[in-house]
Structure 1
Amino acid sequence: METHGRKTNTCGIICLKYLLFLFNIFFWLAGGAVLAVGVWTLVEKSDYISLLNSSFYSASAYILISAGVIVIVTGIIGCCATLKEMRSLLVMYLFLLLCVFLLEIVAGVLAYINYQGCFPFCYQLDEELRQNLKETMQQKYQQPGEESITQAVDKLQQEFKCCGSHNYSDWTDSLWIQEAKNSRLVPDSCCKTPSELCGSRNHPSNIYRVEGGCITKLEDFIQSQLYILGAVGVGIAFLQLVGMMFTCCLYRNLKKDPY
């Protein structure tokens, strides 16, 4: 009878170990995905972040990178604790899972409260970002020492098929457009088919006249990224609950087993 109980307990521990190990693989992959999104945001979209003249988006990218690293480290500790059946590591692993989970909950609640209670301040912040983008385009485009801004603006207008911050008429007040030697009405990157001096004609058949301009397109892009990140966060939170349950079960069985 004792031998049978001992075998049952051993089989249960083996099953829990495999389940927890499988969970850690998924958890590790999720952390890698979050890390990759953060790095991708800094590398590929850093130009757009600089145009917004706000540290919020770059800070978000660094937070993603930090979160990804923490999740990966937590997953590695979980794998080691599972394979070696070390209760001390399991406790550390469970503590890290709980901390990350609580941080996610707190961040989600704060984001929800700030979003719901920001009116009319959220509108003012939105207008401030719009004004910053407009001023950056008008005052820094094609100016000495602002080559990175110029490239970012051209990339933004071509990738999102837009012209100007609010609309194409924003370029009328541009320092570069107002230069005597400049015959363009808008930058060549506003053209549907970019070519040298194509910005000399601002007819709708030649340039992009998107309602709301580039800032609307950029905001839509950021919004879609936030939705994706939110979905990923919910998925990771669910994985963490499952992982904590498996960890508690394994820890309890290891404690009961004298061998």
Structure 2
Amino acid sequence: MENRRVKKQTCGTICLKYLLFLFNILFWLAGGAVLAVGVWTLTEKSDYISLLNSSFYSASAYILIAAGVIVIVTGMIGCCATLKEMRSLLIVYLILLLCIFLLEIVAGLLAYIKYQECFPLCFQLDEELRQNLKVNMQQKYQQPGEESVTQAVDRLQQEFMCCGSNNYTDWKDSVWIQRADNARLVPDSCCKTPDDLCGIRDHPSNIYNVEGGCIMKLESFTLSQLYILGAVGTGIAFLQLVGMMFTCCLHHSLKEEPY
């Protein structure tokens, strides 16, 4: 009977090791996905976000990167602790999981409270972002020393298939458009088929005439990034609960198992 009891405990420990190792692989992959989204946002879309003159949206990319790195490092610690059956490292791993989980809860609560506080000002904030984008387009496009803004605006209009901040009529007040030697009515990047001087016609058949303009497309993109952050955070939080349960079970099993 004693031998059968010991064998059962040993098999249970092996199963727990495999389950916890599988969890760490999933946890590590989740961290890699979060890190990849953050780096992609920062490298490919940061110039769009910079047009809004708002640190709120760019901060989301840095949060994704930091969260991804923390999750990857924690997953590596968990793999080492599981494979080497180090009870002390398992405790460190459990504490890290618990800290990340608590930070996610605190961050979620603060975001909810902040949203409730600023809800009456949401329309005012949206209008401020619209004005920032409009000013950047009208005052800085094709101006000396503002090459980065010019490139960002052209990429924005082509990639999101839009023209102007609110609509294509915003360009009529542009410093560049109002130049005497400029025959264009809108930038060439507004054209559905970009070509040199194609911006001399602002007919909807020639240019993008999207309701809400580029600001709506840009806001949709940045909100989608925040949704991704929330969805991945929720998934990781669920994984953490499972991981903490497996870690506690494995630690207890290693403690009770006879050598």
> Normalising TM by the smaller chain, what interval?
over 0.9
* Greater shift in the superposed pair: 228-237 or 137-146: 228-237
* Greater shift in the superposed pair: 222-231 or 210-219: 222-231
Could you say which residue in structure 1 is the equivalent of 2:168?
168
Could you say which residue in structure 1 is the equivalent of 2:178?
178
Could you say which residue in structure 1 is the equivalent of 2:245?
245
- Look up the equivalent residue of 1:144 and give its one-letter code: P
Cα distance in 2 for residues equivalent to 1:130 and 1:258: 68
Displacement of 1:58 in angstroms is 1.9
Structure 1 stretches of at least 4 aligned residues deviating more than 3 Å after TM superposition? none
- Look up the equivalent residue of 1:157 and give its one-letter code: Q
Cα distance in 1 for residues equivalent to 2:252 and 2:59: 40
Displacement of 1:116 in angstroms is 3.3
Could you say which residue in structure 2 is the equivalent of 1:124?
124
Displacement of 1:107 in angstroms is 1.3
Could you say which residue in structure 2 is the equivalent of 1:75?
75
Could you say which residue in structure 1 is the equivalent of 2:257?
257
Cα distance in 2 for residues equivalent to 1:185 and 1:46: 28
- Look up the equivalent residue of 1:239 and give its one-letter code: L
* Greater shift in the superposed pair: 107-116 or 26-35: 107-116
Percent identity, aligned pairs only, is 82
Q: Deviations over 1:107-161 (max 9, x none)?
A: 1222222223322222211111111111011111000111111011011111111
Counting matched residue pairs gives 259
Contact 2:186 2:202 in 1 (8 A): yes
Could you say which residue in structure 1 is the equivalent of 2:98?
98
TM-score normalized with structure 1 length: 0.97
Cα distance in 1 for residues equivalent to 2:163 and 2:112: 33
Cα distance in 2 for residues equivalent to 1:115 and 1:216: 20
Displacement of 1:27 in angstroms is 0.3
Cα distance in 1 for residues equivalent to 2:122 and 2:238: 30
5+ residue gaps, structure 2: none
Cα distance in 1 for residues equivalent to 2:125 and 2:106: 23
Displacement of 1:208 in angstroms is 1.2
Could you say which residue in structure 2 is the equivalent of 1:31?
31
Cα distance in 1 for residues equivalent to 2:40 and 2:174: 31
- Look up the equivalent residue of 1:120 and give its one-letter code: P
Cα distance in 2 for residues equivalent to 1:9 and 1:126: 60
When the two chains are superposed, the root-mean-square deviation of aligned CA atoms in Å is 1.1
Any idea what SS the aligned residue of 1:37 has?
helix
Contact 2:64 2:229 in 1 (8 A): no
Could you say which residue in structure 2 is the equivalent of 1:234?
234
- Look up the equivalent residue of 1:52 and give its one-letter code: L
Cα distance in 2 for residues equivalent to 1:110 and 1:100: 15
Displacement of 1:3 in angstroms is 1.8
Could you say which residue in structure 1 is the equivalent of 2:19?
19
Could you say which residue in structure 2 is the equivalent of 1:40?
40
5+ residue gaps, structure 1: none
